[in-house]
Amino acid sequence: MVAEDIIAALQLPEQALVNQRVAKKLLIENLAPTISDRQQIHDGVEEVQWVAALKPGNCGIPAYHDTQREYVEAAVLHINLRQSARPARLIELLHRAVPHPTLLLVSTPDSLQISVSHKRRAQNETGKVVLDGETATVSLQATPQVNAAFLAALSLERQPRSNLHAFYQGWIDTLLALKAAHLTGSFRMASSPIDAAARQQALQACIELQAKISAVRTLARKAQQIARQVELNLQLKQLQKALDEAQAKL
């Protein structure tokens, strides 16, 4: 699967398409990054393509305003990274650089990822926006059946249309469904906002438990005393049970 497959699956309105290359100089100017970040952009980014700008006038979805957010546009960007790039940092920088919530397609020589992140107004800087919560980034490394179900669910017409915030949350929920499918082997969209929130909590629990299991296994391999080995193996069984319970909620 390549980025063009994702773009086609989005079924974007023709009038929303931009298809313009974004100069790396603009990213650096907008971000005012550290020297290290500037070097990452210069050395790691092959190309950034602004694919589309979804606005009420071209997609029929109303804008959203509250005390924290103003969603008047949702962007779709595609970034091509070189082998030497550090994707996680560059993904964060790209989300920070764009003032609107963005669906970011990330191509590297070895992988394809999709990333999303809500945004809100900065508390201490008028006119500025910042990332709101964690960035969700998912690799497209699932089975053909899961990928096909994901692409079908990603379509613009399958997302909530009450306003641009709900619409963008629909994209986030679709990516989280794919992330859950990496663990369960099957793709299932959440049945309600409550179900989606519960899945997000379960996914976070799975990530934390997997990290703990990995750490305890490392300790177990190094343990010399039998009593310590028994203790760590017991911890592993308890953690695995908790992981199985968390995965069952996905």
Mean pLDDT for 209-226 is 90
Residues 71, 111: Cα–Cα separation, whole Å: 30
* pLDDT reported for residue 128: 83
* pLDDT reported for residue 237: 92
Lowest mean pLDDT among 33-37, 123-127, 191-195: 123-127
Angle at which helices 3-10 and 144-154 cross, to 10°: 40
Give the chain's count of helices (H) and strands (E): 9, 10
**pLDDT level of residue 250 (50, 70, 90 thresholds):** confident
**pLDDT level of residue 175 (50, 70, 90 thresholds):** very high
Mean pLDDT for 166-195 is 92
Contact 149, 187 (CB under 8 A): yes
**pLDDT level of residue 32 (50, 70, 90 thresholds):** low
